[in-house]
Structure 1
Amino acid sequence: MPTVLLVRHGRTTANASGVLAGWLPGVNLDEVGREQADAVGRRLREAGLAPVRLVSSPLPRCVETAERILAFGEAQADADAEAGTEAGGIPLDVDERLGECRYGAWTGRPLAELAKEPLWRVVQDHPSAAAFPPGEGESAGMPGESIAAMSARAVAAIREIDAQVAAAHGPEAIWVAVSHGDVIKAILADAAGTHLDLFQRIVVDPASVSVVRFTSTRPFVVRTNDIGGSLAGLVPPAAAASGDAAVGGGAGADAGPGGGAVDEPVSASS
Structure 2
Amino acid sequence: MATVILVRHGRTTANATGLLAGRALGVDLDQVGREQAAQTADRLAAVPVVAVVSSPLERCQQTARLIIDRQAGTPYAPVDPDLTECDYGQWQGRSLSDLATENLWPVVQSQPAAVVFPAGESMAAMQARSVAAIRRHDAAFEAEHGPGAVWVAVSHGDVIKSILADALGMHLDLFQRINVGPASVSIVRYGPSRPSVYAMNTDAGDLSWLTNIVPAGDAPVGGGVGHNAL
- TM-score interval, normalised by the smaller of the two chains: over 0.9
SS in 1 for 2:104: helix
Equivalent AA in structure 2 for residue 33 of structure 1: G
Conserved? CA contact 2:86–2:123, under 8 Å:
yes
- Does the alignment pair 1:220 with 2:196? yes
- Does the alignment pair 1:248 with 2:222? yes
**CA RMSD between the two structures:** 0.9
Equivalent AA in structure 2 for residue 249 of structure 1: G
Counterparts of 1:258-269 in structure 2, within 5 Å, are none
Unaligned runs of at least 5 residues, structure 1: 78-87, 135-143, 257-270
Instruction: Return the match for 1:96 from 81, 94, 97.
Output: 81
Equivalent AA in structure 2 for residue 160 of structure 1: R
Counterparts of 1:144-159 in structure 2, within 5 Å, are 144-159=120-135
Once the two structures are superposed, what CA deviation does each residue of 1:72-111 show, in whole Å capped at 9, x if it has no partner? 11xxx3xxxxxxxxxx412321000000000000000000
Counterparts of 1:1-270 in structure 2, within 5 Å, are 1-45=1-45, 48-73=46-71, 77=72, 88-134=73-119, 144-237=120-213, 239-242=214-217, 244-256=218-230
Q: Report the Cα distance in structure 2 between the residues aligned to 1:204 and 1:240, rounded to whole angstroms.
A: 26
Q: Runs in 1 of length 4+ with deviation above 6 angstroms?
A: none
SS in 2 for 1:175: strand
Unaligned runs of at least 5 residues, structure 2: none
Once the two structures are superposed, what CA deviation does each residue of 1:175-197 show, in whole Å capped at 9, x if it has no partner? 00000000000000000100000
Q: CA deviation at 1:235?
A: 2.4
Q: Report the Cα distance in structure 2 between the residues aligned to 1:129 and 1:236, rounded to whole angstroms.
A: 41
Once the two structures are superposed, what CA deviation does each residue of 1:139-172 show, in whole Å capped at 9, x if it has no partner? xxxxx00000000000000000000001000111
Q: CA deviation at 1:252?
A: 1.3
Q: Report the Cα distance in structure 1 between the residues aligned to 2:170 and 2:122, rounded to whole angstroms.
A: 18
Q: Report the Cα distance in structure 2 between the residues aligned to 1:234 and 1:113, rounded to whole angstroms.
A: 42
State which structure, 1 or 2, has the greater radius of gyration over its C-alpha atoms: 1
Q: Report the Cα distance in structure 2 between the residues aligned to 1:65 and 1:92, rounded to whole angstroms.
A: 12
SS in 1 for 2:41: helix
SS in 2 for 1:92: coil
Give the number of aligned pairs.
230
Conserved? CA contact 1:173–1:236, under 8 Å:
no
SS in 1 for 2:212: coil
Q: CA deviation at 1:250?
A: 1.3
Equivalent AA in structure 1 for residue 22 of structure 2: G
Equivalent AA in structure 2 for residue 106 of structure 1: W
Equivalent AA in structure 2 for residue 51 of structure 1: V
Q: CA deviation at 1:26?
A: 1.1
Query: Which has the larger displacement, 196-205 or 212-221?
Result: 212-221
SS in 1 for 2:33: helix
Conserved? CA contact 2:50–2:76, under 8 Å:
no
Once the two structures are superposed, what CA deviation does each residue of 1:4-60 show, in whole Å capped at 9, x if it has no partner? 000000000000000000001110000111111111111112xx2100011000000
Question: 1:85 maps to what in 2?
Answer: none
Q: CA deviation at 1:230?
A: 1.1
Q: Report the Cα distance in structure 1 between the residues aligned to 2:139 and 2:77, rounded to whole angstroms.
A: 18
Equivalent AA in structure 2 for residue 223 of structure 1: A
Equivalent AA in structure 2 for residue 103 of structure 1: Y
Q: Report the Cα distance in structure 1 between the residues aligned to 2:89 and 2:225, rounded to whole angstroms.
A: 47
Q: Report the Cα distance in structure 1 between the residues aligned to 2:192 and 2:151, rounded to whole angstroms.
A: 17
